Structure 1
Amino acid sequence: MRPAKLWRGWRGCAAVVSIAVAVLFATAAPAAQPQVRYLHQGWEFRLLPDDPQAREHAPATQWRAARVPGHVHTDLLAQGLIPDPYVGAPEAQLQWIGLGAWEYRSRFDLSEATLRKSHAELVFEGLDTYADVYLNGEALLSADNAFRNWRLPVAGKLRARGNELRVVLHSPIRRLLPRVEAMPHKIAGNYPSPYGDEPKEAMTGNFARKPGYHYGWDWGPRYVTAGVWRDVKLESWDGPRIDELHLRQLRVDADVAELRAQVQVRADAAGSATLELDWLDPDGRRARALRQTVQLQAGAQTLNVPVRIERPRRWYPFGYGEQALYTFRARLLDADGQRAQAQQRTGLRRVELRRPRDAEGQGFAFAVNGIEIFAKGANAIPFDMFPARVPRERLRKTLEDARAANMNMLRNWGGGYYESDAFFDLADELGLMVWQDFMYGGGMQPGFDPAFRANAVAEARDQVRRLRRHPSIVLWCGNNEEETAWKDWGHRRKLMESDPAFAQTVWDGYVQLFGRDLREVVAQEAGDLPYWSSSPGNDLDEKANDSSKGDKHYWDVWAGSKPIAAYLDETPRFMSEFGLQAWPSLRTVDAFASAAEQGIDTPVIRAHQKFLAGAGNERLLHYIRAGYGEPRDFAQFVYLSQVMQAEGIELAALHHRASRPHTMGSLYWQLNDVWPGASWSSLDYYGRWKALHFHARRFFAPVAAAALRKDGRTTLSLLSDRTQALPARWTLRVIDFDAREHWRAQGEVALTPLAVTAAGAWSDAELLRGADQRRTAAVFELQAQGEPVSRRVIYFDEAEALALSDPQLRTQWRRDGKAAVLTLQTERLARGLWIEFDGLDAELSDNALTLLPGETVQLRVRADADLARLRQALRLRWLGAP
């Protein structure tokens, strides 16, 4: 219905409306929402006694306590039936879990008041994945999608005492394998299992709507788990119900926000009702109250309410304005006195994906409230193999650490799961834009199957509706790397050779699902947001991973073994993936490997190195040796891997930023870890910062110096993400490692807002002026009004060829409140300085430093230890150390 037919004009003056609203809201509050009973208590689980796995795992067939929300693996671990999946190398011996069928049950009682309610729905917010649900012996559901929200009407099926809820979870491998094996020609899967639980030529993961990473990835183990992994609840109510309040943003600018409040209502009968709408501004002040009589129809309907807010406070990404959030509230009172209410917190902003054509191709830039934002950030993967055990505090710490590194965007990668509401609430509050993939992460989906597509569309509708209130989401993307896999990795060619007609069918199904179906869902449910069919891609253009159009995944460095300097040869329109691997700190390695188990090629270390099926340390050594020499032991190998990763990603990210506006985004792979092991992350599984994260805070700084050396020539670009011009001074000093300054230059400049300002270029000969390149560095610094000093040090050879010597570091300690203060002073250049503490967890205000000759720095250290213990545990590493 059009709003004009539902709304007959706002009645009364503002004062009268405010009084009426206050009275109604006060009387409606107690009974306004459905009664919600979370069914998280009293669960038990077991392996089905007649399952084939029971022959070798009989103890698992006994009923034991379970945790809901949870997972089979974590319940088995809690009951002592399996070892910790993260410690040592138990992965092979735990694959039987993914082949088993598991049963969960719980009993609960209900009050007479609950039973008298006219409506009752059993709600499962996450069933992983093939799940049969029974209530009091009656089959209610056969679920087939871990990402869908299942609502089951149960009025009349409940009793006061002894309700039994049962969930039988079937193995996705055993469920799908016969179908996949029966296919005359297979579509490409992703990572084949090395454990024999399914044939390599018949992978099932891409046929299941469950987290793809459960089947293994090149940074995580293969644990094909199952479980009731999100909330289970019973909702009961009388009368009308507001299912959702959604604010459709039609126009948002500095002068006005024009919105359409969509109030989704279910009513038992037709009749008149009073609908009220108000909202609280970002400071909690009620800005307006509206009241109107509406005509309800029996059943489901959407009431569309026009809303206009003058001079709105808009939501901006971090660094560009405030993260203003409004709370909108709707209340419904029918003629029988039944009440319903709903509220939604959201931010008002306008998002555009700008793709102008130019002489070099086609641009790719996000604009928020008319400001083109250079996207700085990383790709986020799942926080755990078993997401039900990820607390909000961990999410907060990770996202706060992302913002602390001056990131303004995270890409939620498509091989995991749709993150919790808590994740997006935090992103909203912190001003982190989210590029949100739908959960398709590699291989090829059976989009040619209408049932699969229908399931996918229902999933997409569930998730877009759940998440559309969040201003942090700026893009919905169909999938990760499926189009480029088809076009560039040989998937299309191999299938065309074996069955051209089927190959065309597969591609047509892909285009239908990712080119049309998901695009339509986003347009219908979140019409103010752009949709992108695949990453990398150019929205179904002929070339999938194009440097001149769309977004780019660049893996010639690392996966292709090109030298790190090759990053300077790749200048895309938006870099959405690139990365270098590193090991986490020794403190993290100690959590899964004893000292005796630690070595570059020991079994446990190989088990936690998933690239190249455990042989990824050879690739790491390739890059370490090329730039830093041969590590003398495992500890130095870990340290050098972090130095290499940090310096390499810094080179690439500064190149991307210096290429603005041609390039408008730099998202490195990856932010976080799913378990403790080798990966491309800058934050390890326990949240400890690798060297890369400390570097990211500098190279993603809003104002930064980008000095980049290529082919014997260094170019200085001055970067500013500020929206106002800034007076600044740049300085160049050429020094040797023992403190001698050869010469210096400087210049005054006004930094252009949201742009790159060129400051100069010098050949090696012009910089060195005859100095020994093995003992000399060029130091570029930028000081802008109100901004921290940005520094970039250029060397004239690889680190392993430089004449780096003992920097003669001196340390002093003092206490300052709850923190300790460490003062470091150096006589000579200290490159790649890493500070750690044996046996202690310590949080440092800075690390992964380069100190210039004669420089002194003070670092705050937070740790559960006194100064004597800190002093004793302190360990310093630097490049060139003996």
Structure 2
Amino acid sequence: MRHFRVVRAACWLLLLLVGSWGLPATAAPLQAQWSFRLLPGDAQLRAHPQLAGWRNAQVPGAVHTDLLAQGQIPDPYVGAPEAGLQWIGLADWEYRAQFDVDAATLARAHAELAFEGLDTFATVTLNGQPLLQANNSHRTWRARVDGRLRARGNELRVVLRSPIRTLLPDVQAMPHKIAGNYPSPYGDEPKDAMVGNFVRKPGYHFGWDWGPRYVTAGIWRPVRLESWNAQRLTAVAVQTRTLDVARADLEVAVEVESAAVGTAPVQLEILDPDGKRVARIDRRAMLQAGDNRITIPVTLQKPRRWWPVGQGEQARYTVRATLAPGTAEASRIEQRTGLRTVELRREADRNGGQGFAFVINGVPIFAKGANVIPFDMFPARVDEARIRRELTAARDANMNMLRNWGGGYYEDDVFFDIADELGLLVWQDFMFGGGMQPGYDPAFRANVVDEARDNVRRLRHHPSVVLWCGNNEEETAWKDWGHGRDLTAADPVFAAKVWQGYVDLFGHDLRQVVAEEGLGVPYWSSSPSNDLDEKANDSTRGDKHYWQVWGNPALPVTAYLRETPRFMSEYGLQAWPVLRTLDGIIPAAEQRVDSPTVRAHQKFMAGEGNQRLLKYIEEEYGTPRDFPAFVYLSQVMQADGIQLAALHHRVSRPYTMGSLYWQLNDVWPGASWSSIDYAGRWKALHFHARRFFADHAVAALRDDGMTRVSLLNDRQQGLQATWRLRVIDLDGALRSEQRHTVALPPLSALEVGRFADADLLKGADPTRTVAVVELFDGGRLLSQQVVYFMPAKALALSRPTIDSELRADSDGYVLTLRSPTLVRALWIAFDGLDATLDDNALELVPGETVTIRLRADADLATLRRTLRLQSLADVIR
């Protein structure tokens, strides 16, 4: 069964790649029996002699997952095993594939093995002879195997050297070190000589403040055997030259590898989103030996454009290129793409600032979304279902942009296929997560250029990709965190060399690759930055990361209201996963804020992050009575704070044109800034995001005794709307009410009023009074927000008496809720069960009925018995 699963996974990846990347028709996954072992002679064999022999392996995979499958290590996520597993990253490993080759493949003139992911320092041999050496996990490595294959008994061996042991001697020998990221707390690597930024490997494997340190190795993407005769298609690229509602002028480049000078027929077809052929062009191409590029202009009338979600349809065309159609040597590439234009608009303003706005098909888009980190510590475990779950959740929370953060890996094509389908814009970092890179080393730079070219070419046809960004936080670290200052003080000549290497790599090399291969998608050198302008993290120009809330100096969340950037690409507050997720990894006896296992799953400030969490919880909400209350209140705090920030960004449109909070997802089940936990369960923040990122929303922001009310419209159509402001007691008694009609312009944030506390309260007790602001389209409630005049811990909230009714209908279940008093931060759960709710983490306004739809794999009686309703008044001491 293990071999069957390996082949099935590889075949699925092959179909994905053929459909979207365009592989020769004679490409196939290497169907092999894989095994692994500790490399003979490795020092770790003294402690682990049982790993001297060959054991079954899974490819794609990783050493850690193979060891887990073989019962050699505990689950890396359950309990606190991390310290005891660091030996894995210090070891050298060997993988072996034994395979046969069919007669048709052997008969072809040319053959090549392609390795999509070798992690990382790999020496590969075939049938005892050297094949290739690799040193970059992010690249595709190819080796010709013409005449080296046999029909039976081929053996492929891959030796994977420890990146720590490989690089550490040279790093330690440096008189002055360049800055790394997170030092290891386990002694496997010296804290003053970190190797992570010298190796082209996912940076998060070395640990981050939201994930563990597992420096793994393995063959993490498929190995393919490709064979062909005279020619093969290698790529198709569609460049949009002009595009409007009436016409699309395209330039299609078809790339062919030929063994010799000659000619070959090439056929190009374009199918519209409904599958109807709208263009066919036949050419006879003149070919030189080697790589050839055939450019074919195409014009489409009345094209259907691809739009981000909320702005139009996600129309995708199919481009089909065939080499030598109708012959035995026919080779075809078929890929889907969308027609859209993209601009990063950076208009100067009268105050010396400069905007930062994404413009799609001529329409400025306010970017709403989150940052994405890897979905697992071990990428080969991430399947299409997992990616679809998280990206669909992003779309369902009214997001239209995701930023793929630079400390992980370039996602599989399926990530971008789903983003294309859902209408999610993708800001794509190159894989540099922090610290400083040795860009002064020409070999390092050349390696990165090859990596960049591989991945830009692989992903360029996806309409969702609207930005390539050089790195995450490296420029601001050099300029603002002391990295450049400290190195300059120690060795000014070396510091100047390091900075020039940075400028060469991120200011020139990667920019040039994107210009040559990216089909018009803009490039940005770092995040945050103003593209190598003097100041890196500036609120008036470029994009902004803001961590003075949560990070040092840990300002209160109201400080978000005083930070107004051009584009907020990172900000965040931490929270724990849903308690049901934690129950699977932390034993009940260990569920305490200060327990060793809880601390092991809290990576911020080396496990001290719970004290930071408690600071924010206690400032606003009070002291949690127990660990479940702590988990619940961490989510309430996170949701309320990020809502405040996101709405402030939205009401600042068009000065501010983006709000991407940190972060969407989790890499493992631990404390983090995510809104979706590792198990896919929505935290309170994600339910709030569905409301505060809605295309039509009300924003009532209270600060220093004044509430500013704005109405938001992200659609291209205006809206005739009504908004209402009520002041009520906690028991629902109405104190005042006003209602207004308004013409809400398209693509706008419209301020409609400012209200002092004294004018709203009119002498009422602020601990027993709230304001409710609502936006209506006719009689339909679009958005509602409750404004509080006091910190939550000061409110005179009573334990609620909630009337609930749960019934079944044709689409699942319907839950109706009603309370005679105000209920704050209501959390709906079912003991021991999972249920998918279309709303949660909400306020119940007195006397009003809330209807929630839900789905669950349980009967009505079980759901009624296990229903649990929790609110703020239930959990504070």
Tell me if the contact between 1:32 and 1:339 (Cα under 8 Å) persists in the aligned partners.
no
2:756 pairs with 732, 754, 763, which one?
Answer: 763
Stretch of structure 1 that moved more, 833-842 or 117-126: 833-842
Residue 853 (str. 1) matches residue 852 (str. 2): no
SS across alignment from 2:419: helix
Partner of residue 576 from structure 2, selected from 583, 586, 599: 583
Query: Given the alignment of the two structures, is residue 870 of structure 1 paired with residue 877 of structure 2, yes or no?
Result: no
- Aligned residue for 2:417? 425
Assess if the C-alpha contact under 8 Å between 2:24 and 2:234 holds in 1.
no
Deviations 1:68-126 (A, max 9, x none): 00000000000000000000000000000000000000111112221111011101000
Q: How much does 1:759 deviate?
A: 0.9
Match of 2:483 in 1: 491
Confirm whether residue 288 of structure 1 aligns to residue 279 of structure 2.
Answer: yes
Secondary structure at 2:689 match in 1 = helix
Which is worse superposed, 394-403 or 333-342? 333-342
Q: Residue in 2 aligned with 1:202? A: 193
Secondary structure of 1:880's match? helix
Q: Which runs of 5+ in 2 are unaligned?
A: 1-21
Aligned to 1:810: 803
Match of 2:143 in 1: 152
After superposition, what is the alpha-carbon deviation per residue over 1:646-688, rounded to whole angstroms, capped at 9, x for unaligned? Answer: 0000000000000000000000000000000100000000110
Say whether the 8 Å CA contact 2:773–2:786 is kept in structure 1. yes
Instruction: Give 1:828's aligned amino acid.
Output: T
Name the stretch that deviates more: 199-208 or 111-120. Answer: 111-120
787-796 vs 98-107, which deviates more? 787-796
Distance 1:796 1:576 in 2: 30
Which position in structure 2 is the counterpart of 1:740?
733
What does the per-residue CA deviation read over 1:825-879, in whole Å, with 9 as the maximum and x for residues that have no partner? 2110001000112211111121001000012222223222222222222221111
Shift of 1:339: 2.5
C-alpha distance 259-733 of structure 1, shift in aligned 2 (>3 A)? same
- Alignment of 1:399 onto 2:384: no
> C-alpha separation between the residues in 2 aligned to 1:737 and 1:780?
15
- Cα distance in 2, alignment partners of residues 56 and 325 from structure 1: 55
Instruction: Give the drift of 1:786.
Output: 9.2
The question of 1:791 aligning with 2:798 is answered: no
Q: 1:124-151 CA deviation, whole Å, 9 max, x = no partner?
A: 0000000111110111111000000111
Counterpart residue number, 2:177: 186
* Residue of structure 1 in register with 2:235 after alignment: 244
2: CA distance, partners of 1:167 / 1:818: 52
The amino acid across from 1:697 in the alignment is R
- Counterpart of 1:326 (choices 317, 338, 341) is 317
Alignment of 1:707 onto 2:700: yes
Distance (whole Å) between structure 2 residues aligned to residue 332 and residue 786 of structure 1: 59
Q: CA separation in 1, counterparts of 2:800 and 2:734?
A: 17
SS at match of 2:669: coil
Q: Using the TM superposition, give the Cα deviation of residue 737 of structure 1 relative to its aligned residue in structure 2, in angstroms.
A: 0.4
Which of 622, 626, 633 is the equivalent residue of 2:626? 633
Q: SS state of the match for residue 175, structure 1?
A: helix
Greater displacement, 821-830 / 79-88? 821-830
Alpha-carbon distance between aligned partners in 2 of 1:698 and 1:843, rounded to the nearest angstrom? 17
> Conserved in 2, the CA contact under 8 Å of 1:806 and 1:828?
no
Distance in 2, Cα, partners of 1:149 & 1:548:
40
CA distances 1:792-843 after superposition (whole Å, capped 9, x unpaired): 1100010001111122112222222362322222110001000112211111
- Separation in 1, partners of 2:409, 2:331: 32
Q: 3-state DSSP class of the match of 2:463?
A: coil
Alignment partner for residue 112 of structure 1, among 103, 110, 114?
103
Separation in structure 1 between the aligned mates of residue 223 and residue 564 of structure 2, nearest angstrom? 48
Aligned equivalent of 2:257, options 249, 266, 279: 266
Which residue of structure 2 lines up, in the alignment, with residue 731 of structure 1? 724
- Which residues of structure 1 form unaligned runs of 5+? 1-30
Question: Which residue is 1:552 aligned to?
Answer: 544
Deviations 1:490-515 (A, max 9, x none): 10111011100000000000000000
Rate the CA distance shift 1:870–1:337 in 2: closer, same or farther, 3 A: closer
Distance apart, 1:377 and its partner CA: 0.1
Q: Give distance in 2, aligned partners of 1:813 and 1:724.
A: 38
Q: How big is each residue's C-alpha offset from its partner over 1:591-616, in whole Å with a ceiling of 9 and x where there is no partner?
A: 10111011111000000000001110
When the two structures are superposed, what TM-score results if normalisation uses the length of structure 2? 0.96
> Residue 756 of structure 1: SS of its match in structure 2?
strand
Aligned with 1:353 (options 344, 351, 357): 344
Whether the 8 Å CA contact 1:240–1:334 is kept in 2: the answer is no
* 2:533 is the counterpart of 1:533: no
- Are 2:88 and 1:90 aligned? no
Partner of 1:610: 603
Asked if 1 retains the 8 angstrom alpha-carbon contact of 2:314 and 2:421, the reply is yes
Structure 1 residue 317 corresponds to structure 2 residue 308: yes
Shift of 1:59: 1.4
Matched residue type, 1:590: D
Q: For 2:815, what is the secondary structure of its paired residue?
A: strand
Measured at CA, do residues 786 and 432 of structure 1 come closer, stay the same or move farther in structure 2, by a change above 3 Å? farther
Q: Distance in 1 between matches of 2:444 and 2:225?
A: 29
Q: Report the equivalent of 1:833.
A: 826
**Is the Cα–Cα contact under 8 Å of residues 246 and 344 in structure 1 kept in the other structure?**
no
- Residue identity opposite 1:506 in structure 2: V
Partner Cα separation in structure 2 for residue 490 and residue 734 of structure 1: 50
CA distance in 2, matches of 1:336, 1:440: 45
Distance 2:328 2:643 in 1: 63
Aligned length: 852
Report the residue type matching 1:490 in the other structure. G
- The residue that corresponds to 1:140 in the other structure is 131
1:719-751 Cα deviation digits (max 9, x unpaired): 000111110000000001001000100110000
Structure 1 stretches (4+) deviating beyond 3 angstroms?
31-34, 334-338, 785-788
Structure 2 contact 407–472 (Cα < 8 Å) conserved: yes
2:38: which partner in 1?
A: 47
Measured in 2, the distance between the counterparts of 1:80 and 1:374 equals 49
**AA at the equivalent of 2:716:** T
Instruction: Decide whether the 8 Å contact of 2:774 with 2:781 is kept in 1.
Output: no
1:335-414 matches, within 5 Å, as 338-360=329-351, 361-414=353-406
Q: Partners of 2:328 and 2:288 in 1: how far apart?
A: 17
C-alpha separation in 1, matches of 2:257 and 2:803: 71
Q: Find the counterpart in structure 1 of residue 496 from structure 2.
A: 504
Equivalent in the alignment of 1:596 = 589
Letter in 1 for 2:408: G
Give the match's secondary structure for 2:758.
Answer: helix
1:652 paired with 2:635, answer no
